[in-house]
Structure 1
Amino acid sequence: MRYTKEPIIIGAVHLPYYGRNNPSQSIAEIEEYVMTNVKVHYDNGIDTVYIQDENLNLGPAMPETIALMASLAKMVKMEMPDIRLGMIMQSHDGEAPIAAATAAGADFVRIKVFAGTMYKAEGIRTGVGETAVQYRAMLNSPVKILADVHDREGIPMPGVPIDMAIDWASHIGADGLILTGHSYQETLRYLKTAQEMELGKPVLVGGSVNEDNIYEILDHCEGAVVSSSLMLKETKPGSLLRWDAEKIKRFADKVRCYRKSR
């Protein structure tokens, strides 16, 4: 049996557009949005959450992104000291998320293109893993790195099989790996490949996770990132709440029952 620890479930809270992408969005509104939606996860059984900025830019992270993400993460940790908190920046940058997470006292970051090369909508992206690992060492930072392998938002460079990409990310220095295929069956194939490799570090699924498939997923890995399936179908006018407390609680209860059921 693969499991020795409780499954790792990470709730993903996506930020609204801000700064250059939405000048009318105030910092106070973003802070309230983050606290509202992180808290609904924490209060209903998901105590590991990351916040994700949605401001896509072609190069490294903008200064306002680094400052805001650090500020938001610090705010959350002060209000909920026991939460395990992470962050992800959409910018192609190995240093910025490490810097912001370290300054804020966050626990981990997720980096989408960590090893190898990906063809994405914004262009060709080459892995920033070595930069991230070296920068973390320079800061003497305790922040953990979760690295995507074959990020499903793009297409990997031809000729690199999934086992090679997994091996690259693992050896460069990722503390955990995130595997998500373009289809559910491809995700399972990735997971089974990683399982056979016996990596000695956690493997998580990064998307398309729900109540119906979570048990099958956990049979092959240590956990999952979950977001869309736990969102409200409709939001009340003027409300900042985007995630459904009942769905979160039901999902968290099901995950807690996993080990008993197996």
Structure 2
Amino acid sequence: MRVIGVVHLKALPGSPSYESNLEQIYKLAIQDAQSLKLGGVDSVIIENFGDTPFVKDSISKLTLSHFVNIVNEIKRNVDIEVGINVLRNDGESALSIADATKSSFVRINILSGTMYTDQGIIEGKANEILKLKNTLDNKIEIYSDVFVKHAVPPPGYTIENQTEELLYRAGADKIIITGDGTGKEIDYDELKKLREIVPEGRLVIGSGINESNIKKYQGIADILIIGTGFKIDHDVSKQVEFERVKNLIDKVE
């Protein structure tokens, strides 16, 4: 089973929460990536987690430029596969950053369909995303959430139908299932439903994994994305704790 650790960036320049602490942002991000690598994760995904409140569509050029720089700094300091997630749902910037930094994959929260979010109604842009992807020399995989956290679907959507749309019409390479919010455990019954639909190697758990429940999900999902579960005190605002990473990775079979 593959494990992806999350590097949660502090607020970047151009975001409303930025605090003019650029050197510290770089330092903490590199430290987290190093702790994840030393602890044994297979990859890291870097996301602009601190840029709250998130923009609904495209991040600013200023934020994008610093995102590229920080990814390059992490890659210079840590030899590990990297993925990109640009919150809230800027898949085109994510692909652009991944291409510029030679990263391997992107996470897109809403690739197709519609979700009601704290940024309002967000519609997926699968057409635009795939057209951009097909212009790139770098072969970048798309990890797509289904019924992403911090959002609710419109009436009539089912997780099974939306998963099939993502896989066979929207171009998703991997499907991510999450709980209701950051660090929240997934619905085990929904995971089992998706396992019936999603081909082997393509089902990802994207939230809620920790030392106490990881055994339950082994043998069902193919990939785990772990953020909060690797943090000091399981507090997403704190730093990655090497010993917590190592202890959790040691439980992976």
TM-score by length of 2: 0.89
Residues 1:234 and 1:46: Cα distance change in structure 2 (over 3 Å): closer
Check conservation: 2:110, 2:144, Cα contact below 8 A: yes
Check conservation: 1:85, 1:108, Cα contact below 8 A: yes
- How far is 1:148 from its partner? 0.3
Check conservation: 1:119, 1:156, Cα contact below 8 A: yes
Check conservation: 2:12, 2:66, Cα contact below 8 A: no
Partner of 1:197: 197
The ranges of structure 1 where at least 4 consecutive aligned residues each deviate by more than 4 angstroms after the TM superposition are 183-186
Higher helix share: 1
| Equivalent position to 1:30, from 21, 25, 30 | 25
Cα distance in structure 2, aligned partners of 1:25 and 1:50: 24
Residues 1:131 and 1:211: Cα distance change in structure 2 (over 3 Å): same
Cα distance in structure 2, aligned partners of 1:86 and 1:202: 15
Partner of 2:60: 62
Percent identical: 23
Partner of 1:85: 82
Check conservation: 1:77, 1:105, Cα contact below 8 A: no
1:122-166, Cα deviation, whole Å (9 max, x unpaired) = 100011223212211012331111100000210012111111110
Residues 1:198 and 1:122: Cα distance change in structure 2 (over 3 Å): closer
Cα distance in structure 2, aligned partners of 1:157 and 1:74: 38
TM-score by length of 1: 0.86
Is 2:14 the counterpart of 1:16?
no
Partner of 1:233: 233
Is 2:105 the counterpart of 1:111?
no
Listed as ranges, the gaps of 5+ residues in structure 1 are 1-6
Listed as ranges, the gaps of 5+ residues in structure 2 are none
Residues 1:69 and 1:194: Cα distance change in structure 2 (over 3 Å): same
Larger Rg: 1
Check conservation: 1:209, 1:229, Cα contact below 8 A: yes
Cα distance in structure 1, aligned partners of 2:153 and 2:159: 9
Root-mean-square deviation over aligned CA pairs: 2.2
Partner of 1:50: 45
Partner of 1:134: 131
| Equivalent position to 2:120, from 115, 123, 126 | 123
Is 2:97 the counterpart of 1:97?
no
Check conservation: 2:11, 2:17, Cα contact below 8 A: yes
SS state of the match for residue 249, structure 2?
helix
- How far is 1:115 from its partner? 1.6
Q: How many equivalent residue pairs?
A: 245
Check conservation: 2:200, 2:222, Cα contact below 8 A: no
Residues 1:186 and 1:27: Cα distance change in structure 2 (over 3 Å): closer
Residues 1:68 and 1:161: Cα distance change in structure 2 (over 3 Å): same
Check conservation: 1:115, 1:149, Cα contact below 8 A: no
- How far is 1:201 from its partner? 4.3
- How far is 1:73 from its partner? 1.4
Residues 1:47 and 1:197: Cα distance change in structure 2 (over 3 Å): closer
In structure 2, what residue type is equivalent to 1:65? Answer: T
Check conservation: 1:181, 1:190, Cα contact below 8 A: no
Partner of 1:254: 251
Partner of 1:162: 159
Residues 1:222 and 1:120: Cα distance change in structure 2 (over 3 Å): same
